[in-house]
């Protein structure tokens, strides 16, 4: 049996989720410490050619969150227009790093360009995905995500 990450990526490739797209949008990423969480905003296309712009922000957000009273990182993916396997790996690494540090990592996504790769790879069983920033902020730790594990469709 394949390890979970290899199996998830194989499934995503079989479903054709990581095909190159012409006219890709530039990636823009920033992060900030807010009163209620550390927020990482991601906009544009995320693939293997530019995921190196995302990962430092995720790592920095985890470092800031380790000293933040909420111990919460929220990654806003709503304006993402392409979500490749490199993006999945970066978010899974962030989730695992947060788990090791005692920091919750939540994703905000409401479009199929982001949700479908997460669902097909069954990462919705691992990652906490919410449809809005407000929902992600209002959930207590341990609550079932509003658009994550329980609502995935094959």
Region 74-83 average pLDDT: 96
pLDDT at 150 over 70: no
pLDDT at 152 over 50: no
- Longest Cα pair distance anywhere in the chain, in angstroms? 44
* Residue count (the chain): 154
130-145 pLDDT tens trace: 999 999 999 754 445 5
CB 108 within 8 A of CB 73: no
110-119 pLDDT tens trace: 999 999 999 9
43-73 pLDDT tens trace: 999 999 999 999 999 999 999 999 999 999 9
Q: What is the CATH number of domain 4-16+26-137?
A: 3.30.750.24
> Residue ranges per domain, the chain?
4-16+26-137
């Amino acid at each position: 049996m394949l390890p979970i990450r290899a199996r998830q990526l194989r499934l995503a490739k079989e479903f054709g989720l990581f095909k190159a797209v012409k006219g890709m949008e530039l990636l823009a990423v920033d992060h900030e410490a807010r009163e209620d969480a550390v927020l990482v905003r991601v906009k544009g296309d995320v693939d293997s050619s530019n995921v190196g712009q995302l990962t430092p922000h995720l790592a920095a957000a985890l470092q800031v969150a380790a000293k933040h009273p909420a111990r919460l990182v929220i990654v806003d993916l709503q304006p993402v227009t392409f979500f490749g396997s490199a993006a999945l790996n970066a978010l899974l690494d962030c989730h695992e790093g947060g788990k090791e540090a005692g920091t919750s990592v939540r994703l905000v996504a409401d479009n199929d360009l982001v949700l479908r790769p997460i669902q097909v790879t069954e990462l919705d069983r691992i990652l906490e995905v919410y449809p809005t920033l407000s929902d992600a902020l209002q959930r207590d730790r341990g609550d079932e995500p509003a658009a994550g594990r329980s609502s995935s469709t094959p």
